[in-house]
Amino acid sequence: MRDTRLKELADVLLSHSLDVKQGEKVMVQGQTNTKPLMKELISGIHDRGALAFYEIDDDELMRVWVSRAPKEVFTQTNTRKLEENKEIDSFIQILSEENDAEISGIPPEQFQMAMQEMKPAGELVVKEKKWVLLNYPTKAAAQKAGMPYDKYVDYLLEVCTIDYKKMSRAQTELSQLLDETKEVRITAEGTDLTFSIENIPSVICAGKRNIPDGEVYTAPIKDSVNGTIRFNTPSPYQGVVFRDITLTFEHGKVIKAVADKTEELTKILDSDEGARYIGEFALGLNPVITEPMGDILFDEKICGSLHVALGQCYDEAKNGNDSTVHWDMVLIQRPEYGGGQVYFDGELIREDGLFVKEELLGLNPEQLK
């Protein structure tokens, strides 16, 4: 049976996220189980007089392929994808994990080699094209979120179709304040971290790149990060879930890292030089997303949260860090998670997950819903 909410979601993606115009070429990338949404998207692209293209991916085949392919296969794949991507105007990538541990069987060094060789094709899309990324509801994702499948579907479609124009307007004040700020301090249980963001731009995120969305991000000056931060949500990376990650920084670099899987954590941090430096700092603002689900597309937007990403920075908020890694880690600062504070240049901006500065009150959940 056709779910009319998928058409609503497709309209958000095509009209708000990508602003698809007549004659544009739009690539829809998904997996077999995302066909209901892909069909709505392809129909919507046709309705707008644009040109629809599609690709079907498969995590199981990808695992077998990446695990044993020699370097030249990834190099040639990158060359081919570069040429294909140049011809496309907009990209929609729909993720739909049935088994979030599928890629955990790939040897880490093989995975890193594949990502490094195929990085240019992906960077072309991120830097030069319109694109949006989202998750499709699956039973595996519902199980990970601890929700019945029907309830999870309702939840996902609700958070993905909120009023992003209203959200964008509300984020403007925070973005301007970040642009004027020199030093950020974060405090919470097990956390006291400081860094400079002086002259690094901030970026509003309200449905143009991720769905669901709701964050404003920037990046620390690479060598300015000092202190310790403890993350109180599960942190998935490469099919492995890490808990209780605590990182200590000195002059920007992670000098101590502890977690429930410290050995595996250390291997990721040793992937390359940039993996031990922060490439992103952001505040989570989505009023409907309140609890961690083990899905970073949702968790990094949790209201009352913040996150930092180890590794690659974004060009829009460039701090010079380059890495094959980009790993978002989330700290929730609401009272039930231990509380916490965010200071800009010594002024308290957010306490226990709620903004206290008058011009930012519109970003609190009761105002954004």
C-beta of residue 208 within 8 angstroms of C-beta of residue 10: no
Q: What are 226-264's pLDDT values in tens digits?
A: 999 999 999 999 888 999 999 999 999 999 999 999 999
For residues 288-292, average pLDDT: 94
**Longest CA pairwise span in the chain (Å):** 57
Q: What are 162-194's pLDDT values in tens digits?
A: 999 999 999 999 999 999 999 999 999 999 999
Residue with tokens 């970026």: 203
The domain ranges of the chain are: 4-160, 164-368
Q: Which CATH superfamily is domain 4-160 in?
A: Thermophilic metalloprotease (M29) (3.40.1830.10)
For residues 77-91, average pLDDT: 97
Closest by CA position to 244, among listed 309, 289, 191, 284: 191
User: How far is it, in rounded angstroms, from Cα 7 to Cα 227?
Assistant: 47
Q: What is the 3-state secondary structure (H, E, C) of 147-204?
A: CCHHHHHHHHHHHHCCCHHHHHHHHHHHHHHHHHCCEEEEEECCEEEEEECCCCCCEE
Q: What are 351-368's pLDDT values in tens digits?
A: 999 999 999 999 999 998
| DSSP-assigned letters across all residues of 251-268 | TTEEEEEE-TTHHHHHHH
pLDDT at 354 (0 to 100): 98
Band of the pLDDT at 145, cuts 50, 70, 90?
Answer: confident
pLDDT at 1 (0 to 100): 55
For residues 25-45, average pLDDT: 97
Looking at the chain, the whole-number percentage of residues with pLDDT higher than 90 is 89
Q: What are 99-108's pLDDT values in tens digits?
A: 878 887 789 8
pLDDT at 308 (0 to 100): 98
* Residue/partner pairs of 292-296 with CB below 8 Å, 24 or more apart: 292/233, 292/234, 292/330, 292/332, 293/141, 293/144, 293/145, 293/146, 294/100, 294/144, 294/145, 294/234, 294/236, 294/241, 295/135, 295/141, 295/144, 295/145, 295/236, 296/236, 296/328, 296/330
Looking at the chain, the whole-number percentage of residues with pLDDT higher than 70 is 100
For residues 319-340, average pLDDT: 97
